[in-house]
């Protein structure tokens, strides 16, 4: 097998994404996960850009073992010195120097002629070699550079000592056929290109970052620069997980090419980067989006249940997930609905299945997502309804500035009316604690959501809570123009479900 080097720039280019700034300890946490997933190179940052970035790169160089630790630098002595000092503690280190080579960059940004650019590139590479033998050179905006000039720059950079030549599509301008052709032409027209690894760094401005990277690989590139979740400047970079899984999944297309990535760590790595950067993953994101292995269409669900590969080209286990997700909604079919009920412990006759599915379809037209708790309620209603063990008689709360919130709640059951009072962090918390005292059910509030269902100052508020007690999880819902009342009723709704489960020791058959 011929290895594709995975150069991860999440901590450098990925962090340049607006709003994705990371603290040094967060960078280190991500770097440790990148070790577990076995990337080959970690571009840890741009040391000269700030004291914080310098410190983070140096800390990663000190503490991270395994991958090459790389620091970015312009072809300026101060940049290269900062990068060299930051990566110095690493057992395997690289300096990545770059200089723009496109006409538009040379004219408006650098304001330098071609010969001057070549001179600066050569000096930059030579100076970087004083700090490490592993030097990468990037002709910035290569995809918009004049080819003949690009060939000259690359040839001179290799003579100066560059061991990796990166060909960036800096602004995501190239088309896959065009970009693959550029890599092919570089291999044909740069006489000493065999002395360096060809790398590619593609941006996603036209949504082609991964496609361009793959075209480059097919034409001889052997290092890919990418980021977790495709994080990066503007529309982002080529997504590491998409490139890796494309190579793994399409062995028939890539032949003997492979990566050393531990793909079972992909999902975990994706979630970590999303959590620490605060950059949410779009639901339909390839490989790691929440819908990537989710199926709602009845036709698709039926196919998946019969043979997974009918609608999945890779297994969720390959990226560290347990299983595919059959999402129940208005497009779902009867097969998936019955299978889900079986997993919840319901055994239905043919007639019962028909009736239950009809009820499910009515519910699915009203709700975007159908949870297990919704199905349990549906089954309970189908078996004669779930009678509330406890009913709200009244509640009263006292709360204010510098006052500890207190609530008094009265509930009715078959044994009559019972009352309790409790203190809490707020009026809702106090009410919940009072309900716990009366019902003797200790509920843990896992989720709380409030949504306005009507307009105006007297809007009706719908509260949804997810409550756990021991090993049971239930959903509670209620609505009122008084959000505290809606909250109390929603929590009590959940408590009644828990009481019902406790009484039944549940495996319902209807």
DSSP code string of 353-365 = HHHHHHHHHHHHH
Please indicate, yes or no, whether residues 351 and 422 belong to a single structural domain of this protein. Answer: no
Residues 187, 408: Cα–Cα separation, whole Å: 79
Domain total of the chain: 3
Please indicate, yes or no, whether residues 361 and 437 belong to a single structural domain of this protein. Answer: no
Digit-by-digit pLDDT tens for the chain (510 residues) are 899 999 999 999 999 998 888 999 999 999 999 999 999 999 999 999 999 999 999 999 999 999 999 999 999 999 999 999 999 999 999 999 999 999 999 999 999 999 999 999 999 999 999 999 999 999 999 999 999 999 999 999 999 999 999 999 999 999 999 999 999 999 999 999 999 999 999 999 999 999 999 999 999 999 999 999 999 999 999 999 999 999 999 999 999 999 999 999 999 999 999 999 999 899 899 999 888 887 767 778 778 778 888 878 898 899 998 776 666 778 888 888 888 788 777 878 888 888 888 888 887 787 666 766 677 666 755 544 455 789 999 999 999 988 999 999 999 998 899 999 999 999 999 999 999 999 999 889 888 988 775 555 555 678 889 898 887 888 888 878 788 998 999 999 899 888 877 665 444 333
pLDDT value of residue 454? 52
The three-class DSSP label of residue 144 is: helix
| Last residue in a domain, options 363, 382, 401 | 382
Q: What is the DSSP letter of 163?
A: S
pLDDT value of residue 508? 38
Q: Is residue 315 part of a domain?
A: yes
Q: Is residue 429 part of a domain?
A: yes
| Last residue in a domain, options 351, 382, 413 | 382
Q: Is residue 434 part of a domain?
A: yes
Please indicate, yes or no, whether residues 110 and 205 belong to a single structural domain of this protein. Answer: yes
> Of 243, 145, 240, which Cα lies nearest the Cα of 186?
145
Please indicate, yes or no, whether residues 238 and 334 belong to a single structural domain of this protein. Answer: no
Where do the H-state alpha helices sit in 318-477?
Answer: 334-343, 350-366, 372-382, 427-439
pLDDT value of residue 478? 83
Please indicate, yes or no, whether residues 187 and 206 belong to a single structural domain of this protein. Answer: yes
How far is the CA of 232 from the CAs of 23, 68, 208, 474, in angstroms? Answer: 17, 21, 14, 39
Length of the chain: 510
Domain that holds residue 426: 391-504
Q: Is residue 282 part of a domain?
A: no
Is the distance from CB of 184 to CB of 243 less than 8 angstroms?
no
Residues 6+ apart with CB under 8 A from 228: 8, 10, 14, 30, 239, 240, 241, 269, 270, 273
Residue 396: which H helix or E strand, with range? strand 391-400
Residues 448, 476: Cα–Cα separation, whole Å: 10
pLDDT value of residue 510? 36
Q: Is residue 289 part of a domain?
A: no
CA geometry: angle 457, 462, 464, nearest 5 deg: 145
Please indicate, yes or no, whether residues 310 and 459 belong to a single structural domain of this protein. Answer: no
Please indicate, yes or no, whether residues 396 and 497 belong to a single structural domain of this protein. Answer: yes
Please indicate, yes or no, whether residues 409 and 478 belong to a single structural domain of this protein. Answer: yes
Is the CA virtual torsion 186, 188, 192, 198 positive or negative? positive
Residue 473: give its domain's CATH number: 3.30.160.270
pLDDT value of residue 300? 81
pLDDT value of residue 351? 84
Is the CA virtual torsion 89, 90, 92, 95 positive or negative? negative
Burial class of residue 456 (count of CB atoms within 10 Å of its CB; 0-12, 13-18, 19+): exposed
How far is the CA of 409 from the CAs of 96, 389, 401, 441, 510, in angstroms? Answer: 66, 15, 22, 15, 35
Phi-psi region of 373 (alpha: psi -120 to 50; beta: other; left: phi over 0): alpha
Residues 482, 458: Cα–Cα separation, whole Å: 8
Q: Is residue 285 part of a domain?
A: no
Residues 288, 261: Cα–Cα separation, whole Å: 15
Residues 365, 436: Cα–Cα separation, whole Å: 34
Is the distance from CB of 186 to CB of 178 less than 8 angstroms?
no
Encode 367-379: b = buried (16+ Cβ within 10 Å), e = exposed: eeebeebbbbbbb
Please indicate, yes or no, whether residues 263 and 299 belong to a single structural domain of this protein. Answer: no
pTM higher than 0.85: no
Residues 6+ apart with CB under 8 A from 51: none
Q: Is residue 449 part of a domain?
A: yes
Please indicate, yes or no, whether residues 270 and 300 belong to a single structural domain of this protein. Answer: no
Residues 6+ apart with CB under 8 A from 345: 506, 507, 508
Residue 146: give its domain's CATH number: 3.20.20.70
Please indicate, yes or no, whether residues 138 and 259 belong to a single structural domain of this protein. Answer: yes
Please indicate, yes or no, whether residues 224 and 301 belong to a single structural domain of this protein. Answer: no
| Last residue in a domain, options 382, 401, 419 | 382
pLDDT value of residue 460? 64
CA atoms within 13 A on the CB side of 117: 25
Q: Is residue 464 part of a domain?
A: yes
């Amino acid at each position: 097998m011929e290895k594709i080097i995975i150069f991860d720039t999440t901590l450098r280019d990925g962090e340049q994404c607006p709003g994705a700034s990371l603290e040094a300890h967060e960078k280190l946490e991500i770097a440790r996960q990148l070790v577990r997933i076995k990337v080959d190179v970690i571009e840890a940052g741009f040391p000269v850009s700030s004291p914080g970035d310098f410190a983070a790169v140096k800390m990663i160089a000190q503490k991270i073992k395994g991958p090459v630790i790389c620091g970015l630098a312009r072809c300026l002595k101060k940049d290269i010195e900062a990068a060299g000092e930051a990566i110095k503690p690493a057992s395997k280190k690289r300096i990545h120097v770059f200089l723009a080579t496109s006409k538009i960059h040379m004219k408006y940004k650098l304001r330098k002629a071609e010969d001057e650019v070549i001179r600066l590139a050569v000096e930059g590479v030579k100076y970087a070699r004083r700090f490490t033998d592993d030097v990468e050179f990037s002709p910035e905006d290569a995809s918009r550079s004049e080819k003949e000039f690009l060939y000259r720059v690359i040839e001179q950079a290799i003579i100066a000592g560059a061991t990796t030549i990166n060909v960036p599509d800096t602004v995501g301008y190239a088309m896959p056929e065009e970009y693959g052709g550029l890599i092919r032409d570089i291999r044909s027209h740069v006489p000493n290109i065999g002395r360096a690894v060809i790398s590619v760094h593609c941006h996603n401005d036209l949504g082609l970052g991964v496609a361009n990277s793959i075209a480059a690989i097919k034409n001889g590139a052997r290092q890919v620069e990418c980021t977790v979740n495709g994080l990066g400047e503007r529309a982002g970079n080529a997504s590491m997980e998409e490139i890796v899984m494309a190579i793994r999944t399409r062995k028939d297309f890539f032949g003997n090419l492979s990566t050393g990535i531990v793909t079972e760590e992909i999902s975990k790595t994706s979630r970590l980067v999303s959590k620490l950067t605060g950059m949410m993953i779009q639901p339909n994101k390839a490989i790691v989006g929440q819908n990537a292995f989710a199926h709602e269409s009845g036709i698709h669900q039926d196919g998946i249940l019969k043979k997974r590969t009918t609608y999945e080209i890779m297994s969720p286990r390959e990226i560290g997930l347990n299983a595919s997700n059959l999402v129940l909604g208005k497009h779902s079919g009867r097969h998936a609905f019955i299978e889900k009920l079986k997993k919840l412990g319901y055994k239905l006759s043919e007639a019962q299945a028909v009736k239950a599915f009809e009820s499910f379809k009515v519910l699915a037209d009203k709700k975007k997502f159908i949870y297990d708790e919704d199905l349990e309620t549906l089954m309970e209603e189908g078996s004669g309804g779930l009678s509330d063990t406890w009913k709200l008689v009244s509640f009263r709360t006292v709360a204010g500035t510098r006052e500890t919130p207190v609530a008094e709640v009265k509930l009715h059951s078959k044994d009559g009316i019972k009352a309790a009072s409790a203190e809490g962090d707020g009026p809702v918390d106090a009410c919940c604690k009072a309900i716990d005292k009366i019902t003797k059910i200790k509920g843990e509030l896992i989720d709380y959501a409030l949504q306005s269902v009507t307009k105006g100052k007297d809007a009706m508020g719908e509260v949804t809570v997810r409550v756990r007690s021991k090993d049971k999880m239930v959903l509670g819902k209620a609505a009122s123009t008084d959000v505290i009342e809606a909250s109390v009723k929603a929590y009590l709704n959940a408590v009644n479900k828990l009481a019902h489960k406790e009484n039944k020791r549940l495996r319902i058959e209807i």
